[in-house]
Structure 1
Amino acid sequence: MQTLKNSQIMDNEIKELMIPEEKVAHVQLNNPLDHALLVLIKSGYTAIPVLDKDYKVCGQISKAQILDSILGIERIEMERLHEIKVKDVMSEKIPRMNKDETFGKALTLSINHPFVCIEDDMGSFIGILTRRSILALINRYLRK
């Protein structure tokens, strides 16, 4: 069985593993939470990127964050979903990297996050690298 330490896999660029932005579910800062929840449910993801009007990554939003924001003392306050904006609930701390960075960095960033946002040299969002695609590559490599 191969070992990652002695391999070239850690130095490979991540472009081939990236899901391009046109295929990535996302929301914008000023979208209401009901829209974000709908996108999350329809896409099947637990978290998605939040972008600004210039397609720059601002953070991520998850189902858990949305549900936590509408939990009242005695009930879930569903009517608040339309009143609260994504920017009021999202996480601003999100892993990101440049399209030319290496697999080793992506692997490290993916430990605590379901995806890593990929940006171009101008800082614009161009896609994501999922933990699943990282693990699939490692699995293929180790089984050679």
Structure 2
Amino acid sequence: MRQAIERMEYHRYTAVPLVDPDGRYVGTITEGDLLWKMKNTPDLTFENTEKISLKDVPLRIENEPVRIEAKIDNLLNLAITQNFIPVVDDEGVFIGIIRRREIIEYFSRQLLAKNGSC
């Protein structure tokens, strides 16, 4: 848990995807998940968070992943409720993420092109 907190702080992430030892996407952990775990665990301090495994931290948000061949319309629907969308291959192995911002930028470019603006 401590490494997750420190890495999220260093990279300024508020949420990160989690993968199992085989590289399969298993969920998303957020700052809130870590804070709730600290609040709800008696005697847990920042110093001893290294003793807590991430598998013991309940996840509040379920970011639905998409397969690599997902259509942009599916991404738009997911982006309404997810800040990022995990992408997996046919085996469920995590490939990366698509951020909400990237989806909005894509549709913005499409709209501008359709309207004849640059």
Name the amino acid aligned to 1:93.
Answer: E
- Taking the TM superposition and a 5 Å limit, the aligned residue runs for 1:1-144 are 33-71=1-39, 77-91=45-59, 93-144=62-113
Q: How many pairs are equivalent?
A: 112
Q: Which runs of 4+ in 1 moved over 3 A?
A: 72-76
Structure with a larger share of its residues in helix: 2
TM-score (norm 2): 0.83
**2:97 aligned counterpart, secondary structure:** strand
**1:108 aligned counterpart, secondary structure:** helix
Give 1:64 deviation, angstroms.
Answer: 1.3
**1:107 aligned counterpart, secondary structure:** helix
Cα distance in 1 between the residues matched to 2:41 and 2:94:
38
Cα distance in 2 between the residues matched to 1:110 and 1:55:
23
1:81-107 superposed Cα distances (whole Å, 9 cap, x missing partner): 112111111527321011001001111
Give 1:143 deviation, angstroms.
Answer: 2.2
Aligned sequence identity (%): 28
Contact 1:71 1:77 in 2 (8 A): no
Contact 1:56 1:123 in 2 (8 A): yes
- Cα RMSD of the aligned pairs, angstroms, is 2.2
- Structure 1: where are the runs of 5+ without partners? 1-32
